[in-house]
Amino acid sequence: MSPDSPEPSGGPALEVHDGRTGRDYHLPIADGAIRATDLGRIGTDEPDDGGLLSYDPAFMNTASCRSAITYIDGDKGILRYRGYPIEQLAGTIPFLDVAALLVEGDLLDGPARERWITEVEAGEELPPEITDLVETFPGDAHPMAVLLAAWSALGAYHPHAKAVDDPAVRDGLPPRFVGAIAALATLVFRHRTGRPTRIDRPTGDFTERFYRSMFPEVATPDAALTRAIDVLLILQADHEQNCST
């Protein structure tokens, strides 16, 4: 073992022999992985040699973080939110409860659940200037471009949200974000599809309000379609890294 290699910690490890230098390295294994930064210790004495890098296009065999929120194994058809199998959530637990589960770590009940729902509803209230902004975009503009512009502009109306070091602010913002992004998404949809951008505040639970905001001309939302939207939102509630990579 080379002098610059750490002593074995007693746990599982990958022993590496560098045929270029004759040095041996001890790379700890945790959760079936080694740290890519440990590879940086494996190098030659050349001045410009910064050590080995892992080369893995498209993250085919690289874990970039440890997640306690979502576990997914697509090959086995497994998806869990905070340890709950998706089969126990989709179709049985409303989307807002699942959203709270992802953020808070467990399902809420009682006053905590009511506070979450109330904060989401408060987040759905958009300043009229945001509607003005969306109306300035061409009707055929890409909805994501319009959504991003409106979301960025919304920050100007909530300057307190910049206090990211304040735990109370951090804890209070997630449910309002859920409500705000839903309101913005439906606003952009109405604008893009030629529907009125200014409508009366819809009633019902979260998913029913979402439906009514998209299709304000529908007097009675279809129950099956509303439920389908709720399940769809649950299944995509956490994109995690299976989508990002």
Phi-psi region of 92 (alpha: psi -120 to 50; beta: other; left: phi over 0): alpha
Weakest mean pLDDT among 26-35, 69-78, 88-97, 214-223 = 69-78
Give CA–CA dist 66/84, Å, rounded.
Answer: 17
Which pTM does this prediction carry? 0.79
pLDDT digits (tens, 9 = 90+) for 95-108: 999 999 999 999 99
Is-contact 154 176, C-beta < 8 A?
no
Complete DSSP assignment for 36-92: HHHHTT---S-TT--------GGGTT------SSEEEEGGGTEEEETTEEHHHHTTT
Over residues 7-13, the mean pLDDT reads: 69
How far are the Cα atoms of 60, 77, 94, 125 from residue 98, in angstroms, in the given order?
A: 29, 19, 7, 22
Inter-residue contact 181 to 154 (CB < 8 Å):
no
Alpha-carbon distances, residue 123 vs 14, 173, 185 (angstroms): 50, 9, 13
What is the mean pLDDT of the segment spanning 193-211? Answer: 95
C-alpha to C-alpha distance for 225 and 30, rounded to whole angstroms: 45
